Amino acid sequence: MAFRLTFLRIPEHRVYSYKPRFYDEAKERIAEAEEKYHPKENTTGKYIPGLEIREAYRKGTVGGKKKQAGGSGVNKLVLFATLILLFIAAYYLAKLFEPLFQ
C-alpha cells in the first residue's frame, strides 16, 4: 500500500447504480394490494419529487457515505501551514548557528 500525501482534496468518482427492473404481474398485484392496505410513510398519497434526495442531503449521506464534521480540508491546510512554519524556523536557526560551525 502506498502512502499518498495530498494537500488538495481529490473528489471520489461517483458510481451510478443501475438495477434493471423486470415486470412480474403477480408481484405487481401483491405489491399494489400491500400498498393499498399498508401504506408507506407518505400518508398524503402524493408523489413528492426529489424527496429521497432531499432527505439524503439532510442526513448527510449523499453518495452512500456519511460526511464527517470538520472536513479533512481544514486538517490538510493546518498541516501545510505548520510545515511551512517549521521550514522557515529551521532556515533562521541555521542562519543563527552558522558562525559557530565555521
Reported confidence tier of residue 93, pLDDT bands at 50, 70, 90: very high
pLDDT of residue 83: 95
Using alpha carbons, select from 6, 27, 16, 30 the residue that is nearest to residue 79. Answer: 6
pLDDT digits (tens, 9 = 90+) for 18-37: 777 777 888 888 988 887 77
H-state helical runs in 3-71: 25-37, 51-59
Q: Domain limits of the chain?
A: 23-67, 68-102
pLDDT digits (tens, 9 = 90+) for 34-60: 877 765 665 566 777 777 777 777 776
Reported confidence tier of residue 63, pLDDT bands at 50, 70, 90: low
Q: What is the pTM of this model?
A: 0.33
Distances (CA, A) of 23 to 27, 39, 93: 8, 22, 75
CB 30 within 8 A of CB 37: no
Using alpha carbons, select from 56, 71, 77, 73 the residue that is nearest to residue 14. Answer: 56
Average of per-residue pLDDT values in the chain = 76
| Cα–Cα distance, 93 to 86 (Å, whole number) | 10
- Amino acid, single-letter form, for residue 27: K
pLDDT of residue 90: 94
